[in-house]
């Protein structure tokens, strides 16, 4: 089992490292093709829209034909998209390639999550989900720093590098990972003839919607906090990188180690409630930021809470769903993508109205997510209350 965990950890780390490498370069690369701010926004949104549309599709396909072929398809397409991006000569080619990347990369995360659900017991599932989340978080932390360094050798270089990393990942996955869904189970899944939204049924629909608004509030914070920190204490680019790195490392430590112990002792339901409460408090604290130190501490409080929610929700859904694991995890990934599409737009709009409004709204949204989670518990247990932290 340790070998499987290490393999899945490596897959997600390398995928998100490649993704993170291009993040700081993409705006400058697109601008070199003549893209204006609107076109850049559309280019960024195209990827998330494709993820939203195709994550549940790929998840359902992995239930029917197996996890490994779907993951390999995603990795091969992901690598090809980076290489094509590096070779592009026209702006429309960037759009076409970004759309392709969004379509195919959508196969990666839900398939890996479904793989974790296949090979873990209900007691160890949150630990497995947390390790995958930690790998993704670490890849995203270190990727931008690598991308920024590589860009000094030319804007296409980070894309060639990201493509090479994912191509290596493809070979590693093909050689190391074994199929986790038996042929008998694949036949049973195919016979059920599920739609991509089969998993979206009460009471689990409350969890999916809760994850949507949690991601939306997170994306709104990520899109606006640099402007906020610049306004309140004059944060420089290096300050922002360090703040988000501190938050990311703290979150990775929670997901990679603490989440398994917490869910084992408290259960996923309690961990989700604690995570939502910490996120609410974190958002309120962010409105009081006045220095680098307070920004690092308050965002870490928020990050600790947020990092508890995703693996615990994933584990809980995987235990309770009556649909295929791939369909369920794909739909959860789709909710994340939708939140990342809408979050920056809403956060940016609120910031124009008042620089603390995105974080006040984030606290309100987190509180609403707590209420939504209680609604899930009420329907799941068929009782009228009695829930507490």
What's the CATH number where 135 sits? Answer: 1.20.1250.20
The region that residue 382 occupies, defined by phi over 0 for left and psi between -120 and 50 for alpha, beta otherwise, is: left
Choice between 381 and 33, residue whose per-residue pLDDT is larger: 33
**212 and 83 assigned to the same domain:** no
What separation in angstroms does the CA of 227 have from each of 13, 222, 355? 29, 10, 9
**Residue 154 — left, alpha, or beta (φ > 0 → left; ψ -120 to 50 → alpha)?**
left
What is the Cα–Cα distance from 372 to 328, expressed in whole angstroms?
A: 19
Q: What is the four-CA torsion angle of 249, 251, 256, 262, rounded to 10 degrees?
A: 140
pLDDT of residue 196: 62
Q: Do residues 200 and 258 share a domain? A: yes
pLDDT in tens, 160-212: 998 998 899 899 889 888 888 888 888 877 776 666 667 788 899 999 999 99
Same domain (yes/no): 376, 230: yes
Q: What per-residue confidence (pLDDT) applies to 90? A: 92
Residue 19's pLDDT band (boundaries 50, 70, 90)? confident
d(CA 307, CA 248): 9
Among 176, 211, 242, the domain boundary falls at: 176
338 & 274 share domain: yes
Task: Tell whether 259 and 321 lie within a shared domain.
Answer: yes
Say whether both 294 and 247 belong to one domain.
Answer: yes
How far is the C-alpha of 323 from the C-alpha of 314, rounded, in Å?
Answer: 14
Does any domain span residue 234? yes
Q: Report CA-CA distances (Å) from 175 to 17, 93, 170, 172.
A: 20, 32, 9, 5
Is residue 269 domain-shared with residue 153, that is, in the same domain?
Answer: no
Residue 12, domain member (yes or no): yes
Q: How far apart are CA 51 and CA 145, in angstroms?
A: 25
Q: Say if residue 265 is in the same domain as residue 145.
A: no
Is the distance from CB of 173 to CB of 6 less than 8 angstroms? no
Task: Give Cα 129 distance to the centre of its chain.
Answer: 12
Residues 20 and 71 in one domain: yes
The answer to whether 108 and 323 have CB atoms below 8 angstroms apart is no
Domain for residue 254, yes or no? yes
Residue 271 in any domain: the answer is yes
**Would residue 181 count as lying in a domain?**
no
- In which domain, by residue range, is 371 found? 194-384
pLDDT of residue 387: 42
Q: Would you say residue 95 lies in a domain?
A: yes
From the list 183, 213, 221, the residue with the least C-alpha distance to 67 is 183
Verify that 172 and 316 share a domain, yes or no.
no
Residue 385 in this model has a pLDDT that exceeds 50: no
Shared domain check, 303 and 277? yes
Report the run of H or E that residue 34 belongs to, with start and end: none
Task: Flag whether 62 is in a domain.
Answer: yes
Same domain, 281 and 156: no
Domain count, the chain: 2
- What is the chain's mean pLDDT, rounded? 86
Q: Of the candidates 141, 176, 211, which is a domain's last residue?
A: 176
pLDDT for 383 beyond 50: no
Question: What's the average model confidence in pLDDT over 51-76?
Answer: 90
pLDDT score of 194:
62
Q: Is residue 185 part of a domain?
A: no
Q: Which of 148, 176, 204 is the last residue of a domain?
A: 176
Angle (CA) 40-41-46 rounded to 5° is: 100
């Amino acid at each position: 089992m340790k070998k499987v965990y290490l393999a899945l950890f490596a897959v997600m780390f390398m995928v998100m490292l490649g993704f993170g490498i291009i993040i700081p370069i993409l705006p400058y690369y697109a601008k070199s093709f003549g893209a204006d701010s609107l076109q850049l926004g559309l280019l960024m949104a195209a990827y998330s829209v494709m993820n939203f549309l195709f994550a549940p599709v790929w998840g359902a396909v992995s239930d029917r034909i197996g996890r490994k072929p779907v993951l390999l398809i995603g990795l091969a397409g992901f690598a090809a998209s980076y290489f094509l991006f590096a070779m592009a000569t026209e702006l429309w080619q960037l759009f076409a390639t970004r759309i392709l990347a969004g379509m195919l990369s959508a196969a990666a995360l839900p398939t890996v999550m479904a793989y974790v659900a296949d090979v873990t017991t209900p007691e160890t599932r949150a630990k497995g989900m947390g390790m995958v989340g930690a790998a993704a978080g670490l890849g995203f932390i270190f990727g931008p720093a690598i991308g920024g360094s590589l860009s000094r050798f030319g804007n296409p270089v980070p894309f060639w590098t990201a493509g090479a990393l994912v191509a290596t990942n493809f070979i590693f996955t093909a050689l190391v990972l074994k199929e986790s869904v038996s042929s008998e189970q694949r036949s049973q899944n195919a016979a059920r003839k599920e739609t991509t939204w089969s998993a979206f049924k009460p009471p689990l629909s409350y969890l999916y919607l809760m994850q949507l608004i949690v991601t939306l509030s997170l994306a709104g914070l990520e899109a606006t906090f640099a402007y906020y920190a610049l306004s309140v204490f004059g944060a420089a680019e290096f300050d922002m990188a360090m703040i988000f790195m501190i938050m990311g490392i703290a979150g990775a430590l929670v997901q990679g180690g603490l989440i398994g112990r917490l869910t084992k002792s408290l259960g996923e339901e309690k961990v989700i409630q604690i995570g939502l409460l910490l996120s609410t408090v974190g958002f309120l604290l962010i409105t009081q930021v006045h220095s680098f130190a307070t920004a690092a501490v308050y965002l870490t409080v928020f990050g600790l809470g947020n990092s508890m929610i995703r693996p615990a929700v994933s584990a809980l859904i995987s235990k309770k769903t009556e649909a295929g694991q791939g369909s369920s995890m794909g739909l959860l990934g789709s909710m994340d993508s939708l939140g990342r599409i809408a979050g920056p737009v809403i956060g940016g709009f609120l910031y124009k109205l008042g620089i603390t409004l995105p974080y006040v709204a984030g606290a309100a949204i987190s509180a609403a997510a707590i209420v939504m989670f209680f609604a899930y518990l009420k329907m799941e247990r068929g009782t009228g209350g009695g829930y507490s932290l």
